[in-house]
């Protein structure tokens, strides 16, 4: 699989992705071979179904949401390798030597933004009570009553909402997560 | 007959109550001492409690020694320590273990605990043996390699009691704390195996050891470690299951938690498995399920009783340590003591450096240089080594007295010098402290969201990292295990 993957990926493409995302050469070829193995249609792009077919995702309550976020950038229903890598680049660990690099692809803000979009279905840059409730319902399963969920949602909004519009903006969201070690929690070690 | 009973009311019979009375007095004395230390703010800010308790023990020991009361001194016997004093501490440690930090870093902790301890044991004992060959150990220069190895195995284990006592007061960040503390707990399996193995080898005799003995020793390592874990998990599951049915007898809920964790420890000890591993994993296993089953009041009771018991144990251990030092059972051997101390520090330092260098290549959050220094510096020795060295049989170990003195010196050095200086050093080096705040609602919810999200990312990239395993475990737990136990 590995040799086939590197054959299909041209050197300048790799360099381009390397420049844009910061992944190493080996990481790119490895992820490309994963990409092609997911690409059942063999057309160089992934559809929603391609991703949702991953068996482990089926037991993940938020699996579908995450898949959906891969399709935000491109308007169409396909995601090509570049877009795929751009999304994954957010989860690269933050290099301690480049901490001042505030707008890097894997910066704290970029990571938080991804988490924010997990809630913000209608993309109006606000988390409404309904959007919050939907996510909560997916995560907690059946043991908690609708009433309890409602009060959790209300308390969360009350806590984070500083301008009193009953919704959480991205600024309010990242303020509420200020003390959390997002850089660390939202990073994956990509194998070389 | 009636007159007889009347007279007996006024009888004085101390012998009748002597042992429990002595124990009760000990606990009272130790606890009052503890109150005393915290009244004087200046002293308790600079010196860790454990040091003060050792000093108090030393004073009491000296008084008894000088007044020739030696035969009345209850020294820290290995049985008392391993069967009564140690279990409360490890049970508490297991029950209140920060599970998440522990399992997120389990690979690193295990590396330090297993490979690090092996490395320390081999390094220290080989070096000591080398020095003995050069004649630097004075009277102990004809020590055999096996006896060196046994001594190395008991001196190289980092002690959970001492580490807890010091690190609880320092409040370093969670990663550093769990690494040193987890290592001190998990290396128990290594210590138990090496100690029993070399002791048995020593009895078989150096010349009679064949390859099969060595293979058996290596195999027993896995049995001791994993056996301890298995016993712990079994008892943890039993406790969780039983507490399902205690709805109507709430008062005995804490009892089950205590008795079963103690039983797990004893059962493991019975088979010469690692009791510490058993008790720790018993606590880890039962905690979540038990807490879902029992009432809030029982939970508070468990929390306070556990903390109290382990605190008392710890206090008594440190006082005993001081008390037991003062006796005529010593053989000062300058070369032996200084070389042991030197090798302990040297191999700990090198071991941490090399292992961290390897681990950092695979870790996402790297251990910094300062972290490594604190980890090397936090390698405190304590009562476990002390009890093990006293257990040695003098017929097989002519150097027992020299070993005792050397062990005590290492313990005192680590508990006093390292214990007292670690806090200023942590301040000086700007070690990241633990930020204790109650997570807000948003943070709690996002924590879960991020967990699931990262697991999904790992699924998509096809890389099975720890997010993947945690998500799997949670799924099994929620869908199958909890249905039975909660």
**Could you tell me if B330 lies within 8 Å of chain A, comparing CB atoms?**
no
Q: Output the pLDDT for position A102.
A: 65
| Best mutation target, B174, B453, B477, to test chain A (most A CBs within 10 A) | B453
Q: Is pLDDT at A6 greater than 50 in this prediction? A: no
Would you call A66 and B437 a contact, using CB atoms and an 8 Å cutoff? Answer: no
| Burial environment of residue B378 by CB neighbours within 10 A (0 to 12, 13 to 18, 19 or more) | buried
In angstroms, what separates the C-alpha of A12 from chain B's closest C-alpha?
23
Q: Is pLDDT at B477 greater than 50 in this prediction? A: yes
Would you call A159 and B441 a contact, using CB atoms and an 8 Å cutoff? Answer: yes
Name which of A165-169, A178-182, B205-209, B422-426 the model is least confident about.
B205-209
Would you call B442 and A56 a contact, using CB atoms and an 8 Å cutoff? Answer: no
Q: Output the pLDDT for position B401.
A: 87
Would you call B445 and A62 a contact, using CB atoms and an 8 Å cutoff? Answer: no
* Mean pLDDT for the stretch of residues A181-189: 84
Taking CA–CA distances from A172, the nearest residue in chain B reads B442
| Best mutation target, A59, A81, A153, A157, to test chain B (most B CBs within 10 A) | A59
CA dist list (Å): B289 to B121, B338, B450, B484, B485: 38, 49, 24, 10, 6
Q: Output the pLDDT for position B438.
A: 79
Q: Is pLDDT at B278 greater than 90 in this prediction? A: yes
Q: Which of B445, B459, B478 shows the shortest C-beta gap to A56?
A: B459
Helix-, strand-, coil-residue percentages of chain B, each rounded to 5? 80, 0, 20
The phi, psi pair for B137, rounded to 5°, reads: -95, 10
List, in sequence order, every residue forming a beta bridge with A127; answer none if it has no partner: A168
Taking CA–CA distances from A116, the nearest residue in chain B reads B446
Q: Is pLDDT at B165 greater than 90 in this prediction? A: no
**Do residues B350 and A169 make contact, with C-beta atoms less than 8 angstroms apart?**
no
Position with higher pLDDT, B127 vs A192: B127
Q: Which of A62, A67, A160 shows the shortest C-beta gap to B449?
A: A62
Average pLDDT, chain A: 82
B285-309 b/e (C-beta count within 10 Å ≥ 16 → b): bbbbbbbebbeeebbebbeebbeeb
The string of pLDDT tens digits covering residues A109-141 is 888 888 998 898 888 888 999 899 989 888 886
The string of pLDDT tens digits covering residues B428-458 is 988 888 776 778 888 888 888 998 898 888 8
Report how far residue B417's alpha carbon sits from residue A79's, in angstroms, rounded to the nearest whole number. 61
The string of pLDDT tens digits covering residues A34-90 is 888 888 877 778 888 888 888 888 888 888 888 888 887 656 678 888 888 888 888
- Please report, rounded to a whole number, the percentage of residues in chain A having pLDDT higher than 90: 1
Name which of B109-113, B130-134, B325-329 the model is least confident about.
B325-329
* Mean pLDDT for the stretch of residues B235-261: 93
Report how far residue B73's alpha carbon sits from residue A103's, in angstroms, rounded to the nearest whole number. 69
The string of pLDDT tens digits covering residues B168-192 is 888 888 889 999 999 999 988 888 8
Report how far residue B422's alpha carbon sits from residue A27's, in angstroms, rounded to the nearest whole number. 41
Average pLDDT, chain B: 87
Angle subtended by helix axes A81-89 and A25-38, to nearest 10:
120
Q: Is pLDDT at A143 greater than 80 in this prediction? A: no
Would you call A67 and B460 a contact, using CB atoms and an 8 Å cutoff? Answer: yes
* Mean pLDDT for the stretch of residues B473-486: 84
Residue A169 DSSP symbol: E
Q: Which of B450, B460, B463 shows the shortest C-beta gap to A185?
A: B450
| Best mutation target, B369, B436, B437, B461, to test chain A (most A CBs within 10 A) | B461
Would you call B456 and A57 a contact, using CB atoms and an 8 Å cutoff? Answer: yes
Q: Output the pLDDT for position B478.
A: 83
Q: Output the pLDDT for position B240.
A: 94
pTM (predicted TM-score): 0.85
The string of pLDDT tens digits covering residues B66-80 is 887 666 566 778 888
Q: Which residues of B touch A57 (CB under 8 A)?
A: 456, 459-460
Would you call A177 and B442 a contact, using CB atoms and an 8 Å cutoff? Answer: yes
A-contacting residues in B 333-392 (Cβ below 8 Å): 362-366
Q: Output the pLDDT for position B102.
A: 92
A30-69 b/e (C-beta count within 10 Å ≥ 16 → b): bbbbbbbebbeeeeebbbeebbeebebbebbbbbebbbbb
In angstroms, what separates the C-alpha of B446 from chain A's closest C-alpha?
8
E strand or H helix at A79: strand A78-80
Q: Which of B452, B460, B461 shows the shortest C-beta gap to A139?
A: B452
Report how far residue B212's alpha carbon sits from residue B219's, in angstroms, rounded to the nearest whole number. 10
Q: Output the pLDDT for position A5.
A: 45
Judged by DSSP in three states, B344 sits in helix
Would you call A57 and B460 a contact, using CB atoms and an 8 Å cutoff? Answer: yes
Which residue is listed with tokens 């064949």? B210
Q: Output the pLDDT for position A186.
A: 86
Which of the four pLDDT bands, split at 50, 70 and 90, describes residue A3?
very low
Q: Which of B366, B443, B468 shows the shortest C-beta gap to A177?
A: B443
Position with higher pLDDT, B184 vs B214: B184
Q: Which of B441, B468, B472 shows the shortest C-beta gap to A155?
A: B441
Taking CA–CA distances from B478, the nearest residue in chain A reads A141
| Best mutation target, B107, B452, B469, to test chain A (most A CBs within 10 A) | B452
Question: How many residues are present in chain A?
Answer: 192
Q: Output the pLDDT for position A2.
A: 43
Q: Output the pLDDT for position B266.
A: 96
The string of pLDDT tens digits covering residues B364-392 is 888 989 999 999 998 899 888 988 888 88
CA dist list (Å): B136 to A157, B332, B334, B338, B344: 72, 14, 9, 11, 17
Q: Which residues of B touch A61 (CB under 8 A)?
A: 452
ipTM of the prediction: 0.89
Q: Which of A51, A114, A136 shows the shortest C-beta gap to B445?
A: A136
**Do residues B166 and B364 make contact, with C-beta atoms less than 8 angstroms apart?**
no
* Mean pLDDT for the stretch of residues A141-163: 85
Q: Which of A60, A156, A182 shows the shortest C-beta gap to B455?
A: A60
**Could you tell me if B421 lies within 8 Å of chain A, comparing CB atoms?**
no
Name which of A97-101, B257-261, B264-268, B355-359 the model is least confident about.
A97-101
Would you call B443 and A179 a contact, using CB atoms and an 8 Å cutoff? Answer: yes
Q: Which residues of A touch B363 (CB under 8 A)?
A: 189
Taking CA–CA distances from B441, the nearest residue in chain A reads A156
Report how far residue B343's alpha carbon sits from residue B360's, in angstroms, rounded to the nearest whole number. 25
A-contacting residues in B 456-485 (Cβ below 8 Å): 456-463, 465, 467-468, 471-472, 475, 478
**Could you tell me if A58 lies within 8 Å of chain B, comparing CB atoms?**
no
* Mean pLDDT for the stretch of residues B226-242: 95
Q: Which of B449, B459, B467 shows the shortest C-beta gap to A118?
A: B449
Would you call A190 and B463 a contact, using CB atoms and an 8 Å cutoff? Answer: yes
């Amino acid at each position: 699989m590995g040799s086939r993957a590197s054959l299909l990926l041209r050197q300048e493409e790799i360099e381009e992705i390397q420049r844009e995302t910061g992944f190493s050469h080996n990481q790119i070829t490895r992820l490309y071979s994963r990409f092609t193995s997911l690409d059942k249609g063999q057309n160089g792009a992934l559809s929603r179904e391609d991703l949702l077919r991953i068996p482990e995702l089926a037991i993940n309550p938020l699996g579908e949401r995450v898949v959906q976020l891969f399709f935000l950038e491109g308007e169409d229903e396909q995601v090509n390798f570049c877009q795929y890598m751009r999304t994954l680049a957010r989860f690269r660990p933050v290099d301690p030597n480049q901490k001042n690099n505030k707008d890097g692809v894997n910066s704290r803000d970029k990571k938080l933004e991804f988490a924010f979009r997990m809630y913000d279905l209608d993309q109006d840059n606000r988390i409404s009570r309904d959007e919050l409730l939907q996510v909560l319902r997916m995560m907690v399963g059946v043991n908690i009553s609708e009433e309890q969920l409602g009060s959790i949602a209300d308390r969360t909004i009350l806590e984070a909402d500083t301008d009193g519009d009953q919704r959480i903006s991205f600024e309010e969201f990242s303020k509420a997560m200020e003390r959390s070690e997002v850089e660390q929690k939202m990073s994956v070690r990509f194998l070389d | 007959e009636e007159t007889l009973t009347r007279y007996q009311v006024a009888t004085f019979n101390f012998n009748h109550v002597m042992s429990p009375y002595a124990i009760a007095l000990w606990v009272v004395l130790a606890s009052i001492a503890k109150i005393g230390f915290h009244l004087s703010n200046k002293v308790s800010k600079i010196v860790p409690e454990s040091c003060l308790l050792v000093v108090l023990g030393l004073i009491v020991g000296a008084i008894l020694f000088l007044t020739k009361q030696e035969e009345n001194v209850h020294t820290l016997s290995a049985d008392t320590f391993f069967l009564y004093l140690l279990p409360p501490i490890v049970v508490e440690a297991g029950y209140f273990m920060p599970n998440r930090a522990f399992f997120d870093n389990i690979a690193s902790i295990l590396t330090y605990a297993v490979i690090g301890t092996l490395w320390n044991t081999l390094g220290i004992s080989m070096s000591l043996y080398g020095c003995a060959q050069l004649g630097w150990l004075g009277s102990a220069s004809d020590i055999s390699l096996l006896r060196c190895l046994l001594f190395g195995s008991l001196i190289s284990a980092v002690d959970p009691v001492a580490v807890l006592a010091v690190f609880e007061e320092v409040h370093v960040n969670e990663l550093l704390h769990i690494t040193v503390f987890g290592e001190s707990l998990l290396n128990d399996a290594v210590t138990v195996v090496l100690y029993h193995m070399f002791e048995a080898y020593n009895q078989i005799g150096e010349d009679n050891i064949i390859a099969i003995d060595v293979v058996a020793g290596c195999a027993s390592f896995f049995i001791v470690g994993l056996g301890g874990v298995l016993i712990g998990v079994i008892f943890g599951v039993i406790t969780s299951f039983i507490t399902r049915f205690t709805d109507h007898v709430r008062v005995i809920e804490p009892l089950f938690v205590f008795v079963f964790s103690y039983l797990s420890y004893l059962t493991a000890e019975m088979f010469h498995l690692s009791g510490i591993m058993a008790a720790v994993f018993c606590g880890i296993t039962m905690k979540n399920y038990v807490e879902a089953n029992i009432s809030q009041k029982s939970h508070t009771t468990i929390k306070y009783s556990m903390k109290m018991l382990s605190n008392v144990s710890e206090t008594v251990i440190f006082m005993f340590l001081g008390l037991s030092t003062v006796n005529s059972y010593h053989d000062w051997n300058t070369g032996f003591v200084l070389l042991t101390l030197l090798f302990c520090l040297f191999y700990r330092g090198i071991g941490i450096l090399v292992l961290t260098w390897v681990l950092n290549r695979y870790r996402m959050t790297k251990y910094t240089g300062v972290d490594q220094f604190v980890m090397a510096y936090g390698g405190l020795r304590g009562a476990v080594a002390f009890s093990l060295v006293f257990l040695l049989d003098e017929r097989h170990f002519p150097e027992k007295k020299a070993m005792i003195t050397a062990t005590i010196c290492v313990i005192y050095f680590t508990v006093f010098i390292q214990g007292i200086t670690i806090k200023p050093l942590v301040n000086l080096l700007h070690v990241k402290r633990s930020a204790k705040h109650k997570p807000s609602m948003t943070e709690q919810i996002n924590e879960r969201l991020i967990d699931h999200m990262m697991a999904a990312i790992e699924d998509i990239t096809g890389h099975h990292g720890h997010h993947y395993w945690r998500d799997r475990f949670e799924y099994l737990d929620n869908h199958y295990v909890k249905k039975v136990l909660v």
